[in-house]
Chains A and B, each alone.
Chain A
């Protein structure tokens, strides 16, 4: 999941890839899923991959998809921001995998890369996964010891992501 930052938040100039990356790759080769969550500055806050081989490739995919997310955000955001849907849907389908995006109101982006061969993964499931991620992220934000923008080291979050990815696998 890639959470794209708002333009204003990007004003920091830290154009580098900030954002939290959640990369999850499915263990099963038929599945490839990667979840990334990016914060406003587009540097990864959390990234997890299930099967860890070719992880870099998924990281790259997630990062490149940030552009798509930005594009979608800007396109939608010009109008009523509130009406912008958090779930961005399929961002970037390739032959090997699909990339789904989700952005919260605080411009945290979640990017999920799923193996294209996983046809059983429907849109609703993706939505529910993003929802779970969003809920867990909100829980993390409630932790006073978590500074927004830090990398996410929450064990609860890890557990949730792992279970989610295992489930999809």
Chain B
């Protein structure tokens, strides 16, 4: 009575909820999306049923179970009885929760028996509709179809067991799930049980206790470690945790009620919520295997999945081999992060959902880790490049058409150097993943795939090498899950698919082996890849050659090139030890930027500037910088230096020159007077006598400065032109060599 009384109010309250779910249920799987908001005629029926169910639920379930938000749930649960329940009430009841899951599914892909049943059940269930998103529905149906051939009503125990094992939940959890979903009770894994179990797996993977109520929340899709498939197994957990409502007791209660309805075996479902550890009583024989192989670290907490990748589901059940998971060795660490991630997913689901839909081009942490691992397999040094041929072989394995791969390469090879850095590789891999998952390739590289954008993110995990760090990543987990699932799927394709092939489980095994061997050979091939200091550096370096602004293609340039070897790139602004006037600084800056090969024979490369050199150091500085051939500037500098104490960063060259000439008595005669003058500069104070001399020389020096500036400008222009020409020639050479390579085997000569 009490239960009933309780149930009634809850039933009332549950009506609105249930109506939503009932309505969806009524749709018999035609509608996707959250059933709750939908009201429908079934709601009323559901309400009635809920009352009944609540009654039942009230009798058995323990108060705490009901406590949490059980009221409506309870009522809803019991209403899971489909109106047109066939004469196997117990079965239906057991399935009801799962059947409700079918509500959203557009097509009842479950076994034939489940087809109508679940639909009907769904129609009737109302309350406890486990909100199944489209992706969930797809995935669950795929999983179910994989585990259970269509003609059968129940999933094969062995396949289900494998699938559950692939979820990498501890055996106890799996037992609980088995109990909760009712399979144990009914002795088989019908569609309802299967779906409930999947949902429970998702909940467990997300950190929720194995209870029926946890199913009510929007959970990410259950993740199944791909024993064979790496990525496909991961069913992203769609951020369904909107407002995680831990219906908690409701779920269990409802489930319990259901089960009880069948056999009054409510204790079992309750047991999980009550005590997480319940040794599964007579679990179906199939499940007895479950506890055996939970050794897999959760490879990925890849949670989201945006699109129900059908092949993912199918493959997951066939993953018998763990080798594919071996590819994700690093992923094992992910398992630890999984619970955290699931929690974060929970919180961020709202955001992630939007992010998912908004930005499929964002690479999740798991995806990035996967990409990095793949990069490592091709090129152990993460800061080096993957050459074009290596990358071509690798991406060709994804079985995308060559034009698409070519386009992906165009998009991802930002600096067009024929090689992929790690960020470029991640972007390319992500594009392949997306394409594999049905996304159309963009015309331009999305912002989130730009190398600069990825570099910051890529370098982090590289350094840390700890998956936990991924949590610190800004990317929301939801995105990660979403992209991750995609990546997983694609990675299954990409990685040659040792996993992908395994997924199909048919012919692919051979291919997978081939692919895996190919992959293994790849690293050997590319051991010789040059290592570059940093990914950014190569980009920067490559960016430079890319600047193709050919000044001219005439022979003149070639001649010029030969005559005047390009001077080294302008050195960074050299600071003058002496405090030179601002004018001098500007002048020197201009000069330093220009090619200095001007009017003097190519001077040796200038030494790096000395930022704040004290006056005493000035002479040494000068000597160290022999290149200064700017007597005019020096003169000016000297004069200015005389006046100022140089602690700023005026170009040191002129000053140095002056000092050096002073010391060596070299350089232009103009310098000598200035040098003499400047020699006195170190002593800042005795400026006056020097000033007089310098003033005379100043004029001469200034004219010389002007001339030098002009010459410098001309030479700078010439140098830049020559450099560009050189780059162009290099490129042509590369193209030519490539063509020669192509032609060589065909040459009939």
Measured CB to CB, the residues of A under 8 A from B are 8-9, 11-13, 39-40, 82-87, 104-108, 127, 131, 134-135, 137-139, 141-149, 153-156
Contact = CB atoms under 8 A, between A and B. Distances in A.
B88 interface: no
B736 to A, nearest CB: 3
A40 B736 CA distance: 10
7 contacts: A12-B743, A39-B739, A105-B732, A135-B731, A142-B734, A143-B406, A149-B742
Contacts of B731: 135, 138, 141
Contact of A127 (B392, B553, B747): B553
Contacts of B734: 138, 141-142
A84 to B, nearest CB: 8
| Across the A-B interface, the 8 shortest Cβ-Cβ residue pairs | A144-B388, A106-B736, A142-B418, A105-B732, A145-B406, A144-B392, A83-B555, A86-B553
B234 to A, nearest CB: 29
Contacts of A105: 729, 732-733, 735-736
Interface string B400-426: 001101110110010011100000000
A103 B553 CA distance: 11
Contacts of A156: 410
Interface residues of B, number: 41
Given A105-B733, A127-B553, A149 B739 contact: yes
Contacts of B406: 143, 145-146, 153-154
Contacts of A141: 418, 731, 734-735, 738
A140 to B, nearest CB: 8
Nearest to B417: A142
Contacts of A127: 553
A141 B728 CA distance: 13
A153 B742 CA distance: 18
Interface in B530-563: 548-550, 553-555, 558-559
B1 interface: no
B407 A155 contact: yes
A144 B736 contact: no
Contacts of B416: 138-139, 142
Task: Label chain B's interface by main secondary structure.
Answer: helix
A119 B696 CA distance: 56
Nearest to B733: A105
Contacts of B402: 145
Contacts of A106: 732, 735-736, 738-739
A105 to B, nearest CB: 4
Nearest to B551: A131
Contact of A148 (B550, B729, B742, B747): B742
Interface of B: 387-389, 391-392, 402-403, 405-407, 409-410, 413, 416-418, 443, 548-550, 553-555, 558-559, 728-729, 731-736, 738-739, 742-743, 746-749
B407 A11 contact: no
Contacts of A86: 553
Contacts of A145: 392, 402, 405-406, 409
Contacts of B735: 104-106, 108, 137-138, 141, 148
B17 to A, nearest CB: 50
Contacts of A154: 406-407, 410
B334 to A, nearest CB: 31
A145 to B, nearest CB: 4
A129 to B, nearest CB: 12
Contacts of A87: 553-554
Contacts of B389: 144
Given A9-B739, A149-B739, A153-B403, A142 B548 contact: no
Contacts of B388: 142-144
A124 B731 CA distance: 22
Given A11-B747, A11-B748, A149-B739, 11 more contacts: A12-B748, A104-B736, A138-B735, A142-B388, A142-B416, A143-B388, A144-B392, A144-B409, A148-B738, A154-B410, A155-B410
A127 B248 CA distance: 74
B391 A144 contact: yes
A87 to B, nearest CB: 5
A107 B407 CA distance: 25
Contacts of A13: 748
A139 B731 CA distance: 9
A104 B738 CA distance: 13
A154 B402 CA distance: 12
Given A40-B739, A144-B418, A138 B732 contact: yes
B740 to A, nearest CB: 8
Contacts of A148: 735, 738-739, 742
B413 A131 contact: no
Contacts of A8: 749
Contacts of A146: 406
B369 to A, nearest CB: 25
Contacts of A40: 739, 743
B550 A131 contact: yes
Of the candidates B413, B416, B418, B746, the one having the most CB atoms from chain A within 10 angstroms of its own CB is B416
A14 B388 CA distance: 29
Contacts of B417: 142
B542 to A, nearest CB: 10
Of the candidates A8, A40, A106, A108, the one having the most CB atoms from chain B within 10 angstroms of its own CB is A106
Nearest to A149: B742
